[in-house]
């Protein structure tokens, strides 16, 4: 393995772990500083873990903490992700969820405010930023991400429809446990959280990539082997500065593919020029790439 490949792999690993740590910190702060004091439920698996803690506090002789249940509820989803999605994807998901569970336990709760509206807004924003950064870095935060990918493949339903269904259950549970006023604040928190995630990262956003290179063969082989993407080739392109013959490659990818295509290009041609822009719509045959 060349020195450049080692540096690329190291950068890849550091970026993934950093994103997982930032997500873990964000979800722990949102939970311990805002959601728990405000008696507000989060979205997804975190919300279900909070429901279990609330029910155990009221009706059981012992309490099942949110931090423990957050990890336990994700275990079946780890198995599904490992079998149905991909090993690398699942490993980084486990790391993110494990760090989140530890942070929930380690970071001491601080009762900043009991105002439910402030708790809903700030909790949703902080968790949304952390989750968005994680997804933007190509890792999952567990829970509905994993379940959504699998159910979408089986049923054809969108992530939005799947999230609405499960989060509706959380809102109803919040109404029965804390009252319907708190259910309204829970719905507000879930809405804010979702909007912030979308602002930081759109999960299925398509990206148009232009690559100017003198070594197109290796890049094409790497993209087709790793991502199975179609590529349009522009031959006989001349660089205005060096007046050397180059080739331009154009392809459309999912944002999930960004780290992979970057590494492929850098390893194949360190001097290649790559331009990436967001795409509003794609028509024709485009295969959704599953994260690995």
Task: Tell me how long the chain is.
Answer: 292
**Cα–Cα separations (whole angstroms), residue 170 to 55, 57, 69, 101, 180:** 13, 17, 15, 20, 12
Neighbour count for residue 197 (Cβ, 10 Å)? 24
Flag whether pLDDT at 225 surpasses 90.
Answer: no
CA–CA–CA angle 145, 150, 155 (5° rounding): 120
When mean pLDDT is compared across 16-20, 168-172, 204-208, 219-223, the lowest value belongs to 204-208
- Distance, C-alpha 52 to centroid of its chain: 24
Mean pLDDT, range 219-243, rounded to an integer: 85
Which of 32-41, 87-96, 134-143 shows the lowest per-residue confidence on average (mean pLDDT)? Answer: 134-143
Residues 6 or more apart in contact with residue 260 via CB below 8 angstroms:
226, 227
Q: What is the pTM of this model?
A: 0.68
Q: What is the pLDDT of residue 291?
A: 47
| 143-to-92, 170, 213, 237 alpha-carbon distances in Å | 13, 14, 40, 47
- Dist CA 283 CA 281 (whole Å): 7
Give the pLDDT score at 285. 64
Instruction: Give 153 or 177, the one with higher predicted confidence.
Output: 177
On the 0-12 / 13-18 / 19+ scale of CB atoms within 10 A, 241 is: exposed
Q: What is the mean pLDDT of the chain?
A: 83
Give pLDDT, residue 23. 92
> What pLDDT digit, counting tens, does each position of 41-85 carry?
888 889 889 999 988 988 888 889 999 999 999 998 888 888 877
Instruction: Please answer whether residues 7 and 83 qualify as being in contact, where contact means their C-beta atoms are separated by less than 8 angstroms.
Output: no
Tokens read off for 209: 């990539």
Does residue 204 carry a pLDDT above 70?
Answer: no
Q: Report pLDDT digits (tens) over 115-141.
A: 889 999 999 999 989 988 887 777 878
């Amino acid at each position: 393995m060349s020195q450049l490949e080692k540096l690329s792999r190291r950068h890849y690993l550091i970026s993934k772990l950093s994103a997982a740590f930032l997500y873990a910190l964000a979800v722990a702060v949102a939970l311990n500083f805002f959601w728990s004091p405000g008696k507000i439920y989060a979205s997804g698996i975190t919300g279900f873990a909070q429901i279990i803690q609330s029910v155990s506090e009221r009706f059981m002789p012992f309490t099942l903490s949110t931090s423990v249940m957050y990890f336990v509820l994700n275990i079946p989803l780890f198995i599904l992700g490992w079998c149905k999605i991909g090993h690398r994807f699942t490993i980084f998901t486990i790391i993110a969820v494990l760090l989140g569970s530890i942070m929930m336990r380690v970071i001491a709760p601080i009762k900043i405010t009991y105002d439910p509206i402030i708790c809903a807004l700030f909790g949703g924003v902080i968790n949304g930023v952390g989750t968005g950064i994680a997804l933007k870095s190509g890792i999952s935060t567990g829970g509905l991400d994993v379940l959504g990918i699998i159910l979408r493949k089986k049923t054809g339903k969108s992530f939005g429809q799947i999230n609405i269904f499960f989060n509706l259950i959380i809102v109803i549970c919040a109404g029965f446990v804390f009252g319907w006023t708190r259910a309204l604040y829970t719905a507000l928190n879930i809405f804010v959280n979702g909007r912030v995630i979308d602002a930081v990262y759109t999960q299925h956003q398509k990206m148009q990539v232009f690559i100017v290179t003198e070594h197109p063969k290796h890049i094409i082989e790497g993209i087709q082997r790793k991502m199975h993407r179609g590529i349009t080739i522009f031959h006989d392109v001349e660089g205005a500065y060096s007046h050397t013959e180059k080739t331009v490659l154009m392809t459309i990818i999912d944002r999930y593919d960004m780290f992979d295509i970057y590494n492929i290009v850098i390893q194949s041609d360190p001097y290649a020029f790559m331009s990436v822009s967001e795409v509003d719509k794609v028509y024709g045959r485009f295969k959704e790439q599953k994260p690995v």
